[in-house]
Amino acid sequence: MVLVFLGGGLGSALRYWLSSWLSQFFPWSAGTFSANILGSLFIGLLMGWFIKWPHFEADLRLLLAIGFCGGFTTFSAFALEQANMIKNGATLHALVYMAGSIILGLCAVFLGLWLSRQ
């Protein structure tokens, strides 16, 4: 649990720094976009290495994959789940899950904004 906490803190701090730095150059959410893509790449690399070299400590997985990547971006975990579903032949399930997550997530944000004004 402590490793997840530490990794999450580091990932969140890096995401904040990245967003702050990129906002100087881009008027749109370049920090979030970049964190999502970089986090997805990093969790893919990590999971590939963990499969290739299973002797890596479970603590390292907690610190980096769950903690750091989770703090840096939850999108990386979402992308990994979708890749696993597609790899396991559940492509339709993955597509429905992706579309539902994006559409319902966006609707939930708008609902929350609306509810907070009532």
Share in percent of the chain as helix, strand, coil (round to 5) = 85, 0, 15
Ranges in the chain, pLDDT < 70: none
Range of the domain at 51: 2-73
- Any domain includes 103: no
| pLDDT tens digits, 27-54 | 777 887 888 889 889 998 998 888 888 8
Structure tokens at 11: 């990932």
* Number of structural domains in the chain: 1
Residue 99 falls inside a structural domain: no
pLDDT value for 13: 96
Q: What pLDDT is attached to residue 52?
A: 87
Cα angle 56, 80, 61 (rounded to 5 degrees) comes to 20
Residues whose CB falls within 8 Å of the CB of residue 108, separated by 6 or more in sequence, listed in order: none
What's the pLDDT score for residue 67?
94
Say what the pLDDT of residue 36 is: 86
Q: Give the angle 12-16-17 at the CA atoms, nearest 5°.
A: 120
Asked, for residue 38, whether it belongs to a domain, the answer is yes
66 belongs to a structural domain:
yes
Q: What percentage of residues in the chain have a pLDDT greater than 90?
A: 48
